């Protein structure tokens, strides 16, 4: 069996408490009253019986003393004629019944009182004792029995009437209390209803104010609270909408950024593939050109003695408009350029491939920083996009070798140079790259400075964040400095920035010198 | 009813002679079996023409009118009230019987009393038999003269009579209280000034409370709580009254006839009362006492 829990209202609880309490008190008082009345009736009956016995004893004293049986019987009969007297008996001192009288049938419900009859009344006994007189003469005993039927009937009547009055009283009080409580708790009911509605989140509900009592005052306060809550709710809704809009925008922006980064990454991946395929397409003809160049070189070295013998010291011999000696120098110079430039193409392609594919090159302990810078400059120059910018270099000679990966370090320098070039206006600027050694800190530094737009202070702290870029729209991935910082950190180094908006930026890469190497100060 | 009264009036006024044709007008206080016994004795052996009047049935002064109208030869006054109303009449002889009162006033010449009194000597013997040395009594001023004479008789018998005066019946209780420590017995005398049914009860109650035997002048008081009383033979008393009536009707002057006491007096006692008072009836039996029924 499941017990169903029901919510008992405050009004009902109060009403129940008051009703039950009133019922208990009424019942207790009624019971006490009935008991008291019953005891009083019985005491009255007993007292009456005793009084009659006393009267009889007083009146029968002399007749008993004188043995006047006629008078004694007469007394008994007169007493028996009293209301409710059922039986009267007078006995002599020996216990023999001297006179007896009945009134009607002697029932079973009797209240009997008896009194000893002596020659002196009770109140005189003490006087007799004080005066030294002899004790009173015992003459007999008087018995008076009252029929309690009428008494019982009276008690029943009183009980019934009292009970009826009590029940009526209780019903009236209950009804009145119900009406009063209903009126008194009306305010509470409204208050509770209002609270309940507000608890459900409905702050538009207002509790009606009908009086100035405490519940109505509380209701008034609640209404004010509801006003405030409603207003705050509205503000919250507004703020929430704004927040949602802001979040939506941020999410959208982030999404755009992510997409841009993804696109850039994809583009970089594609670019890597393109570079890889391009490298292959370029390497092949470049290789052929270098081979032919080498062949031409050999042929020139073999043919030049012949040509000089053929020219026979004639200074006026011209080849392609140039005097023989000048043409000879030009031919040899052109051969060197072919070899040098094919080698350069090969180096560029190689670096580009390594850079785009991110070839993990192991750390070695013979990394020449100047070579790293040179390699990076080669790549940048091969880019061809920033031809308006002037790139200058100032490399310290005989820098100590450091431990690391040349490719990775080149990648870092390329990123720094690209950032410097991209920070400058389209009509050009100046970028300088320099190397140095700091004996105090035992580190080698590569410094890239530009005369670009500078970095706003609020961006300085975010430079190493992945995917943070001010050029997402122009294809920036936001990973350059993140990866560069990672690489430098892997090398045990540090990247530092000094920038001023409108004047330019100086980026310094600090790389530790292995402790076993001696550092010679520069001249 | 009107017819009956009319018929009676005719009888009275048409035959006036009939109304006066009787010798003795019997006047009694009330209807009482005691008086009946007395009248039984009065009528036995004597054939008086008589008319009986019960005073409680008549208004005051009716007796005088009847006597003046009927002219009876004699009036027999039975009881104290009958005597007191009859004494107004001076011409008609009066024989008074069953009157207990101690008379100190001057007796009229037409009155002959059969006094319901017992001689003091008999009372002294009675108290002596009861063993009482000091006897108390309460009397009015009128009864003091008799008591003084009785005290002398008692003194000779070695008994002290303590006499306390009560001016009215209301003072009897107080005087009785005073006797409680001074008397061995109480004597109730027929003093009309203080004796009423209430005072008789007072005497009896006092006797019961203080265990003092009460000696009374009437055996009727035995049933009221008196221990001992002298009982007068009422029938014989009636005969005595008839004898006096004969003498007077025969022509004897009432003034020449002296008052006399009853012939037959019997001492009676209440055995139950004596038992309560721890008294033995033996000495009373010795002096001729009889237990009352």
The pLDDT value given to residue B258? 84
**Residue B194: closest CA among B147, B233, B228:** B147
* Among B265, B272, B269, CA closest to B286: B269
User: Counting beta carbons within 10 angstroms of the beta carbon of residue A66, is it exposed (0 to 12), middle (13 to 18) or buried (19 or more)?
Assistant: buried
Nearest CB partner across the interface for A66, out of B181, B211, B223: B223
Element of type H or E holding B60: none
Q: Assess A134–B contact: CB distance below 8 Å, yes or no.
A: yes
Residue B15's pLDDT band, with cuts at 50, 70 and 90, is: low
pLDDT confidence tier of residue B103, bands split at 50, 70 and 90: low
* Residue A35 located in a structural domain: yes
pLDDT at A127: 57
Q: Given a cut of 60, is residue B18 above it in pLDDT?
A: no
Work out how many CB contacts closer than 8 A connect A with B. Answer: 52
Asked whether A120 and B206 are in contact (CB, 8 A), the reply is no
Q: Is residue A189 part of a domain?
A: no
Asked if A131's CB is within 8 angstroms of B204's CB, the reply is no
Q: What is the mean pLDDT of chain A?
A: 84
Q: What DSSP letter does each residue of A76-125 carry, written as one string?
A: HHHHHTSTTEEEEEEEETTS-EEEEEE-S---S-EEEEEEEEESS-HHHH
Interface touch B273/A119, C-beta < 8 Å = no
Taking the Cβ of residue A129 and every Cβ of chain B, the question of whether any pair is shorter than 8 Å is answered with: no
Q: Which residue of A has its CA nearest to B270?
A: A66
CB contact under 8 A, A128 and B224: no
Q: What residue of A is the nearest CA neighbor of B224?
A: A66
Query: Are the beta carbons of B211 and B131 closer than 8 angstroms?
Result: no
A68, A71, A119 ranked by CB distance to B209: nearest:
A119
Residue with tokens 């008799």: B146
Would you say residue A43 lies in a domain? yes
B209–A136 CB contact, under 8 Å: yes
Per-residue pLDDT, B19:
45
- Report yes or no on A451 lying in a domain: yes
Distance from CA of B110 to the nearest CA of A (A): 41
**What is the total count of domains within chain A?**
2
pLDDT per position as a tens digit, A374-418:
988 888 877 666 667 888 999 998 889 999 988 889 889 999 998
Instruction: Give the per-residue pLDDT at A162.
Output: 94
CATH code at position A75: 3.30.450.20
Q: What per-residue confidence (pLDDT) applies to A23?
A: 94
Give yes or no for A137 touching B (CB within 8 A): yes
Distances B60 to B9, B54, B69 between C-alpha atoms, Å: 21, 12, 16
pTM: 0.51
User: Which range of residues forms the domain containing residue A388?
Assistant: 363-523
Q: What pLDDT is attached to residue B140?
A: 84
Contact A67 B273 (CB under 8 A): yes
| pLDDT given at position A26 | 94
Q: Choose the most confident range, by mean pLDDT, from A443-447, B254-258, B281-285.
A: A443-447
- The answer to whether residue A327 sits within a structural domain is no
Buried b / exposed e over A14-33, threshold 16 CB at 10 Å, is: ebeebbeeeeeebeeebeee
Q: What pLDDT score does A523 carry? A: 42
- What's the pLDDT score for residue B17? 47
Nearest residue of chain B to residue A69 (CA atoms): B223
Q: Which chain B positions have a beta carbon within 8 Å of A61's beta carbon?
A: 205, 208
Domain boundary among A171, A199, A219: A171
Alpha-carbon distance of A482 to A467, in angstroms, equals 8
pLDDT tens profile B67-98:
888 889 999 998 878 888 887 788 889 998 87
CATH of the domain at A485: 3.30.565.10
Q: Which two tokens stand for residue A140?
A: 């007999």
Given a contact cutoff of 8 angstroms between Cβ atoms, the answer to whether B129 and B228 are in contact is: no
Is A268 inside any structural domain?
no
Is residue A259 situated within a structural domain? no
Percent of chain B residues topping a pLDDT of 90:
26
**A84-114: per-residue pLDDT in tens?**
899 999 999 999 999 999 877 767 778 899 9
Residue ending a domain, among A171, A189, A211, is A171
Q: Which of A171, A187, A203 is the last residue of a domain?
A: A171
- Can you tell me the ipTM of this complex? 0.76
Contact residues of B toward A, CB < 8 A: 180-181, 201, 204-205, 208-211, 222-226, 270-273, 276-277
Q: Look at chain A and count its residues.
A: 523
Tokens 């609640």: give the residue: A222
In a domain, A502, yes or no: yes
Chain A residues touching residue B202 (CB < 8 angstroms): none
Query: Domains of chain B, with CATH numbers?
Result: 2-116+234-256 (3.40.50.2300), 120-231+265-291 (3.40.50.2300)
Chain A residues with CB-CB distance to B224 below 8 A: 62, 66, 68
Q: A193-206, pLDDT tens digit by residue?
A: 888 888 887 888 88
pLDDT in tens, chain A (523 residues): 554 455 777 788 888 999 999 999 999 999 999 999 999 988 998 999 999 999 999 999 999 999 999 999 999 999 999 888 999 999 999 999 999 998 777 677 788 999 999 988 766 555 555 555 567 889 999 999 998 888 888 889 999 999 999 999 999 999 999 998 888 888 777 888 888 888 887 888 888 888 888 888 888 898 898 899 888 888 888 988 988 888 888 887 777 667 666 665 665 665 666 666 777 788 889 999 999 999 999 999 998 888 888 888 777 788 888 888 888 888 888 888 888 888 878 876 776 666 665 555 678 888 999 999 998 888 887 766 666 788 899 999 888 999 998 888 988 999 999 899 888 877 678 999 999 999 899 999 999 999 988 999 998 888 888 777 877 666 666 778 888 998 899 999 999 999 999 999 999 999 999 886 544 554 4
Q: What average pLDDT does this structure show over B38-44? A: 89
């Amino acid at each position: 069996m499941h017990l169903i829990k029901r919510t008992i209202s405050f009004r009902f609880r109060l009403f129940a408490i008051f009703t039950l309490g009133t019922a208990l008190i009424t019942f207790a008082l009624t019971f006490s009253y009935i008991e008291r009345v019953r005891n009083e009736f019985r005491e009255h009956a007993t007292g009456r019986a005793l009084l009659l016995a006393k009267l009889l004893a007083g009146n029968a004293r002399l007749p008993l003393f004188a043995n006047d049986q006629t008078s004694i019987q007469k007394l008994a009969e007169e007493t028996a004629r009293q209301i409710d007297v059922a039986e009267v008996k007078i006995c002599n001192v020996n216990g023999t019944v001297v006179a007896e009288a009945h009134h009607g049938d002697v029932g079973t419900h009797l209240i009997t009182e008896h009194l000893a009859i002596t020659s002196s009344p009770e109140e005189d006994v003490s006087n007799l004792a004080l005066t030294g007189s002899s004790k009173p003469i015992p003459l007999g005993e008087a018995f008076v029995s009252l029929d309690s039927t009428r008494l019982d009937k009276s008690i029943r009547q009183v009980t019934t009437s009292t009970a009826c009055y009590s029940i009526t009283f209780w019903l009236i009080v209950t009804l009145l209390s119900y009406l009063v409580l209903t009126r008194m708790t009306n305010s509470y009911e409204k208050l509770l209803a209002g609270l309940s509605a507000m608890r459900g989140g409905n702050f538009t509900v207002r509790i009606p104010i009908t009086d100035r009592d405490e519940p109505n005052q509380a209701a008034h306060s609640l209404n004010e609270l509801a006003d405030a809550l409603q207003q705050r709710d509205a503000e919250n809704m507004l703020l929430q909408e704004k927040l949602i809009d802001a979040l939506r925008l941020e999410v959208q922006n982030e999404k755009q950024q992510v997409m841009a980064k993804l696109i850039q990454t994809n583009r970089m991946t594609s670019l890597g593939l393109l570079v890889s395929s391009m490298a292959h397409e370029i390497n092949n003809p470049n290789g052929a050109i270098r081979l032919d160049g080498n062949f031409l070189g050999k042929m020139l070295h073999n043919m030049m003695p012949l040509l000089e013998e053929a020219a026979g010291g004639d200074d006026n011999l011209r080849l392609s408009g140039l005097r023989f000696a000048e043409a000879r120098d030009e031919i040899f110079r052109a051969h060197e350029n072919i070899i040098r430039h094919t080698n350069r193409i090969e180096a560029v392609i190689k670096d580009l491939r390594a850079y785009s594919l991110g070839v993990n090159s192991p750390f070695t302990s013979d990394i020449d920083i100047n070579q790293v810078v040179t390699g990076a400059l080669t790549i940048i120059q091969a880019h061809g996009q920033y031809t308006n910018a002037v790139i200058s270099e100032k490399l310290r000679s005989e820098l100590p070798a450091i431990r690391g990966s040349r490719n990775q370090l080149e990648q870092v320098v390329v990123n720094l140079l690209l950032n410097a070039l991209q920070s400058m206006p389209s009509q050009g600027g100046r970028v300088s790259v320099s190397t140095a050694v700091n004996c105090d800190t035992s580190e080698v530094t590569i410094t890239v400075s530009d005369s670009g737009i500078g970095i706003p202070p609020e961006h300085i702290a975010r430079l190493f964040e992945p995917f943070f870029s001010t050029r997402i729209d122009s294809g920036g991935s936001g990973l350059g400095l993140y990866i560069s910082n990672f690489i430098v950190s892997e090398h045990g180094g540090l990247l530092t920035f000094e920038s001023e908006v409108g004047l330019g930026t100086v980026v310094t890469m600090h790389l530790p010198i292995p402790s076993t190497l001696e550092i010679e100060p520069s001249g | 009813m009107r017819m009956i009264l009319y018929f009676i009036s005719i009888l009275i006024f048409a035959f006036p002679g009939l109304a006066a044709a009787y010798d003795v007008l019997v006047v009694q206080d009330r209807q009482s079996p005691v008086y009946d016994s007395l009248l039984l004795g009065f009528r036995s052996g004597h054939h008086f023409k008589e008319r009986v009047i019960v005073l409680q049935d008549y208004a005051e002064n009716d007796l005088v009118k009847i006597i003046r109208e009927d002219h009876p030869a004699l009036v027999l006054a039975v009881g104290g009230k009958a005597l007191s109303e009859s004494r107004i009449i001076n011409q008609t002889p009066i024989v008074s019987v069953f009157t207990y009162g101690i008379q100190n006033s001057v007796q009229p010449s037409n009155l002959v009393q059969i006094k319901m009194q017992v001689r003091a000597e008999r009372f002294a013997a009675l108290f002596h038999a009861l063993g009482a040395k000091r006897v108390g009594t309460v009397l009015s001023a009128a009864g003091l003269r008799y008591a003084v004479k009785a005290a002398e008789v008692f003194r000779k018998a070695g008994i002290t009579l303590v006499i306390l005066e009560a001016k009215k019946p209301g003072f009897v209780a107080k005087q009785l209280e005073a006797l409680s420590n001074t008397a061995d017995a109480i004597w109730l005398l027929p003093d009309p000034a203080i004796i009423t049914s209430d005072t008789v009860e007072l005497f009896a109650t006092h006797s019961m409370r203080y265990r003092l035997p009460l000696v009374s002048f009437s055996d009727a008081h035995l049933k009221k709580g008196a221990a001992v009383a002298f009982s007068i033979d009422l029938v014989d008393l009636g005969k005595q009254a008839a004898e006096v009536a004969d003498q007077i009707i025969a022509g004897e002057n009432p003034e020449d006839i002296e008052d006399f006491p009853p012939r037959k007096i019997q001492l009676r006692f209440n055995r139950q009362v004596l038992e309560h008072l721890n008294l033995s009836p033996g000495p009373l039996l010795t002096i001729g006492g009889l237990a009352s029924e």
